[in-house]
Amino acid sequence: MFSEKLMKLRRQEGMSQEQLADRMDVTRQSVSKWESGSAMPELGKLTALSELFGVSLDYLVKDYIEEREMAKPALDNDTAARLEKKVDALANRNRIYSFTSRRKIFGLPLVSVRFGHDRHPCRENTAVGVIAIGNFSLGVVSIGLISAGLLPIGMIALGGVALGMISIGVVAFGAVAVGYLAVGASALGVYAVGAAAQGSRVAVGAAASASTAVGLEAKGGRMLTNPAVTAAQVLEFLKPELAAMWVPVRGLMTFLINWIF
CA–CA separation, 133 and 141 (whole Å)? 8
- Please state, in angstroms and as integers, the Cα–Cα distance from residue 111 to each residue in 16, 34, 154, following that order: 35, 28, 17
Query: Which residues have a Cβ under 8 Å from the Cβ of 69 and sit 6 or more positions away?
Result: 55, 56, 58, 59
245, 235 Cβ separation under 8 angstroms: no
Give pLDDT, residue 74. Answer: 47
| Nearest residue to 242 (alpha-carbon basis) of 181, 171, 187, 196 | 181
Answer yes or no: is pLDDT of 143 > 90.
yes
Give pLDDT, residue 178. Answer: 96
Averaged pLDDT, 209-238 = 91
128, 142 Cβ separation under 8 angstroms: no
CA quadruple 98, 102, 106, 107: dihedral, nearest 10: 70
The amino acid that residue 112 corresponds to is: S
The amino acid that residue 68 corresponds to is: R
HSE, side-chain direction, 13 A CA sphere, residue 155:
6
- Residues found in the chain: 261
pLDDT in tens, 28-73: 888 888 888 888 888 888 888 888 888 888 888 876 665 554 444 4
The amino acid that residue 104 corresponds to is: K
Give pLDDT, residue 71. Answer: 42
The number of beta carbons lying within 10 Å of the beta carbon of residue 97 is: 11
Give pLDDT, residue 123. Answer: 61
Give pLDDT, residue 134. Answer: 87
pLDDT in tens, 161-215: 999 999 999 999 999 999 999 999 999 999 999 999 999 999 999 999 999 999 9
> What mean pLDDT, rounded, does the chain reach?
84
| Nearest residue to 5 (alpha-carbon basis) of 72, 56, 74, 42 | 56
For the chain, give the percent of residues with pLDDT over 70: 84
pLDDT in tens, 85-137: 655 555 454 556 778 888 888 888 999 988 766 555 566 678 899 999 988 89
pLDDT interval class at 228 (50, 70, 90): confident
Beta strands in 16-125 (DSSP E): 96-100, 104-105, 108-109, 111-116
User: Which range among 12-16, 78-82, 214-218, 248-252 shows the weakest confidence by mean pLDDT?
Assistant: 78-82
